[in-house]
Homo-oligomer: A and B are copies of this chain.
Amino acid sequence: MKEKDERWIPERDPSMGEHTQAGCENRRLEKICSKFLEGTGPEADVVISSRVRLARNIRDHLFPPLASNLQRKNILQLCREILQEEEERFSRFQFLELDSISGVFKQVLVEKHLISPLMARENVCSALCLREDETLGIMINEEDHIHIQCMLPGLQLEQAWQEASLLDDCLENQASYAFHEELGYLTACPTTVGTGLRASVMLHLPALVITRQINRILFALNKVGLVLQGIYGESTDFTGNLFQVSNQITLGQSEDEIWQNLYGVTRQLINQEKKAREHLLNEGRERLDDRSGRALGVMRYARVLGVQEVMQLISDVRLGLDLGLVRDISAGTLNKLLALTQPGCLQYLKGRELSAYEQDLERAAQVQKFLDC
């Protein structure tokens, strides 16, 4: 495990001369646009990513929300020791204490779904232990002592579950988890008690939105114990036609039942989205072509771009791409654009804080630069 990570360069380096600005920006861009965003993986035209998170706590220690700073520090130390016991396994992991990084970079981690918004805000003695490829990580002192997270591109719930579970087994060898015979794993929030498992998929559902079927689906999902949210956990903001579906229930079902239930429903959603796309194509191919064409035109030529607008534009172009109407652009490019146009990533890229208006200008400039590459 690397303590000091060269990849996580500081946002602003006073010794950095003008002539190295471009080089730094390129290195930062590489970090934002991780391999994860290539747009590969099964069902990648609808499923952006699959994620499994396991909540675990160390026996006889207060849960983080109730723990003092000293107690949180002890937990962090304890976790560090557990990881060090398995040094070889964690040789390709990086250990990042959140106290030591800037607000902007925390925001980058949130935007990349590597830490939660809560952890970015309240992070005394919090840490992220993340594998090089960024698909497997451990959050320490979030809501629980340990959140193991595996996030894979496309529809790969089973693989995500297996990877997370393997890491869980390995930690359990060293740590003594808070576990109750009847209830299962004990967690800070009652809704995660039991398996401690939260499985989710991030979906791009433009056709279900355009054809106004999404509200019906939202209602139906609630009935089968699933919840639909925006990609940053908002309950109503589905900017960019991006949705996160996850299980509500963690108790009374086995881990396999949980991810399999989500997997089955996701398969149905994929089918419905594809049918809706087919329908839109048959109803008016030119209208769809126009929609994605205009979006690409605005992305290439606008000088001021808001984050919500760019997410919608990316969605429109992506739909055109998935339907074979748009060429000369890849799903990977669009995924990366979605990442780098977020407020945190943009500011990180420029190496300084930007006002909202400066962000809108910079966003447009970066989009054009990126599309011209």
Contact = CB atoms under 8 A, between A and B. Distances in A.
Interface of A: 286-287, 289-290, 293-294, 296-304, 361, 364
Interface of A is mostly: helix
Contacts of A290: 302-304, 364
A294 B297 CA distance: 7
A290 B360 CA distance: 11
Given A286-B361, A290-B364, A364-B290, A300 B303 contact: no
Contacts of A300: 297, 300-301
A274 to B, nearest CB: 23
Nearest to A301: B297
B301 A287 contact: no
Contacts of A287: 304
27 contacts: A286-B303, A286-B304, A286-B361, A287-B304, A289-B303, A290-B302, A290-B303, A290-B304, A290-B364, A293-B301, A293-B302, A293-B303, A294-B297, A294-B298, A294-B301, A294-B302, A296-B297, A296-B301, A297-B297, A297-B298, A297-B299, A297-B300, A297-B301, A297-B302, A298-B298, A300-B300, A300-B301
A294 B293 CA distance: 12
Contacts of A293: 301-303
A254 to B, nearest CB: 50
Oligomer: number of copies: 2
Given A289-B303, A290-B364, 16 more contacts: A287-B304, A290-B302, A290-B303, A290-B304, A293-B301, A293-B302, A294-B297, A294-B298, A294-B301, A294-B302, A296-B301, A297-B298, A297-B299, A297-B300, A297-B302, A300-B301
A361 B293 CA distance: 13
Nearest 8 pairs between A and B by C-beta?
Answer: A297-B301, A297-B297, A290-B303, A293-B301, A290-B304, A289-B303, A294-B302, A297-B298
A314 to B, nearest CB: 15
A304 B304 CA distance: 24
A299 B361 CA distance: 22
Nearest to A287: B304
Nearest to A291: B303
A298 B302 CA distance: 10
Contacts of A361: 286
A299 B300 CA distance: 12
A364 B287 CA distance: 12
A300 B287 CA distance: 16
Query: Which of A296, A304, A361 is the most central at the interface, judged by chain B CB atoms within 10 Å of its CB?
Result: A304
Contacts of A303: 286, 289-290, 293
A293 B367 CA distance: 14
A230 to B, nearest CB: 26
A298 B298 CA distance: 6
A99 to B, nearest CB: 38
Contacts of A302: 290, 293-294, 297
A364 B296 CA distance: 15
A299 to B, nearest CB: 8
A293 B303 CA distance: 7
